[in-house]
Amino acid sequence: MNENATYFEINDAVHWHFFHRTWAMITPYWRGEEKGTAWLLLAAVVGLSLFSVAVSVWITHWYKDFYNALEKKDTVAFWQLIVYFGGIATIAILGAVYRLNLTQMLTIRWRAWLTEKHFARWLSNKNYYQLEQGGYTDNPDQRISEDLNNFTSSTLSLGLGLLRNVISLISFSIILWSVSGSIEVCGIIIPGYMFWCALLYAAVGSWLTHLIGRCLISLSNQQQRCEADLRFSMVRVRENAESIALYNGEPNEKQRLSTHCNKVWHNFWEIMKVSKRLTFFTAGYSQIAIIFPFMVAAPRYFTGQIKLGELMQINSAFSNVQENFSWFISAYSELASWRATSDRLLSFHQAMSDNEQRTPAIDVYPEAERLIVKNLGMHLGDGRRLLTNAGMTVEPGQRVMLSGRSGSGKSTLLRAMGHLWPLGHGSIRLPAARYLFLPQKPYLPIGPLKSVLSYPQDDSVYPDERYKQVLATCRLPHLVMRLDEANHWQHILSPGEQQRLAFTRALLFAPQWLYIDEATSAMDEEDEATLYQALIDELPGLSIVSVGHRSSLKRFHGRHIRIESGLLQESRNTF
């Protein structure tokens, strides 16, 4: 008994926590800058939903008059009621069309607002990087695009559907109570007995539906994850097509894709089995609901207590009351999908919150004229140490080269300077000056070449003549005529061209401090020397911190610091 009580208490706490967090995800839009338009659209949609309930009640009364006319064989009344129904149907169609149209308008506005907010948060505090590196959440692209779309449409659909069902339930319950009369069972008179029959029928059906289909929530969540993993794997093949082709890696990639496909099919098969059992029950439940009110009300009709019109009105009212009571049954699959979508969005929010609230282990902030690394320790996720209480100081205008064995922590040190490495201790005081990082593999956004060159700034910042100058300086004169061409440059340019293009960014941006992480690894020594010399000549006073292996780089740096045994050990160049 105590174990059961504990189970239900935990279960209730979990559900309450879920709804509390989901409510916190829903409400900002309705309190934000678009709240006026949002509430106006919602009021219009709710009004049209209530109007559709009124039309349904209207049709129920029409049923009574229509079937009574049929029973009396009243031709004049029959045709009058046919024309009357045409008017009701016209009004109902107009209401349905505009209710759908305004609901879609509200959905897309809400989705656009949520998407913009999620974009902003995902791209702030380095969330997009840390979540990917730490494996805190999978497929953020799907969560922002598909899950937000499903969340907004399902929330409005389920919320408005529930509201409409409540209003409809109240309206038709009044009708059903008034027309169903009383029945005596074991000497007890039960007023409005048809209402109680509908309530009991729906309650039993809802309970059985939940027992049969409750695992759909976890299966739906898993299905979305498997589908997203499959899509991401196919994108990886597209992005790395050349490397895969040169490796002849097609069999390996086919095996990977087949593994993801098998997970999709297996999980979908489980969903099919549950859906099959659920559909068996819900379909049977719906079919029995057609004849159930006739079976219960027929004795009163055969004894002459009610006419055919009243019988049909009872059937219509009972069907509506039973359907409204059974909203949970009809909406169960959508509720399961909505719960799974909400869980995925909530876990995404939680991962971003965890990253935002995490206190940086390495204290990094700009506040000085020089670069100061003090008592710096860094380690990998598996605990392997890279640096132990290391330190160095770089004065403005100095050019420093960092070297060391592969895996010694050179690139990781630059990541720490860029606020990207959370594991370790100590402090890094960055110069409070204009700076730029050049990674080994530059990012080239899809678009006009000018936008690629000026990234992360807008391409209107520099005149066309300046673009042509830096392209010529960085040995890319063949791209001068393609400045306005939009393309996928990462697929068009060679690795060496991409790295030379990154140097054009440095010349355009003209930083005071430049951090270079093996950004010439795909170039020959002649190109490398030309580009370093261009930086020195065109950006006088530039401070450079370079990570590199080649000895040819040493002549462009006045200081050489090597990572050995977890320490930053300095040796003076003799060039």
**Per-residue model confidence (pLDDT) at position 242:** 62
Contact 114, 150 (CB under 8 A): no
Cα separations in angstroms, 541 against 395, 397, 431, 572? 11, 5, 14, 20
Q: How far apart are CA 303 and CA 498, in angstroms?
A: 90
Integer distance in angstroms from the first to the last C-alpha of the chain? 83
As a residue count, the chain comes to 575
Nearest to 449 by CA among 438, 459, 436: 459
Q: How far apart are CA 540 and CA 519, in angstroms?
A: 20
Long-range Cβ contact pairs of 50-57 (< 8 A, separation 24 or more): 50/164, 50/167, 51/95, 52/92, 52/95, 52/96, 52/99, 52/164, 53/164, 53/167, 53/168, 53/171, 54/171, 55/88, 55/91, 55/92, 55/95, 56/168, 56/171, 56/172, 56/320, 57/171, 57/172, 57/175
Q: Which residues contact 113 (CB under 8 A, 6 or more apart)?
A: 29, 32, 34
Residue 422 carries which DSSP code? -
Residue 460 carries which DSSP code? G
Domain spans in the chain, listed from the N-terminal domain onward = 21-357, 363-572
Q: Which residues of the chain have pLDDT under 50?
A: 1-10, 12, 574-575
The tokens describing 9, both together, are 């208490």
**Per-residue model confidence (pLDDT) at position 505:** 92
Q: Which CATH class is domain 363-572?
A: alpha beta
Q: How far apart are CA 372 and CA 542, in angstroms?
A: 17
**Per-residue model confidence (pLDDT) at position 109:** 92
Instruction: Phi first, then psi: give them for residue 249, nearest 5 degrees.
Output: -90, 15
Nearest to 121 by CA among 139, 144, 100: 144
- The residues facing 379 across adjacent strands are 385
Contact 237, 253 (CB under 8 A): yes
Give the helix ranges, DSSP H, for 386-516.
410-417, 449-454, 464-473, 489-492, 495-509
In CATH terms, 21-357 corresponds, of 3.40.50.11810, 1.20.1560.10, 3.40.109.10, 3.40.50.300, to: 1.20.1560.10
Q: How far apart are CA 482 and CA 429, in angstroms?
A: 41
Q: How far apart are CA 107 and CA 156, in angstroms?
A: 7
Contact 131, 355 (CB under 8 A): yes
Q: How far apart are CA 547 and CA 561, in angstroms?
A: 10
Q: Which residues contact 397 (CB under 8 A, 6 or more apart)?
A: 541, 542, 543
Cis before 456? omega within 30: yes
Contact 216, 333 (CB under 8 A): yes
**Per-residue model confidence (pLDDT) at position 219:** 81
Residue 409 buriedness (CB in 10 A; 0-12 / 13-18 / 19+): buried
Q: How far apart are CA 529 and CA 511, in angstroms?
A: 19
Q: Which residues contact 173 (CB under 8 A, 6 or more apart)?
A: 195, 321
Query: Parallel, antiparallel, or unpaired for β 188-191 and 182-185?
Result: antiparallel
Is the full-model pTM beyond 0.75? no
Query: Same topology for domains 21-357 and 363-572, yes or no?
Result: no
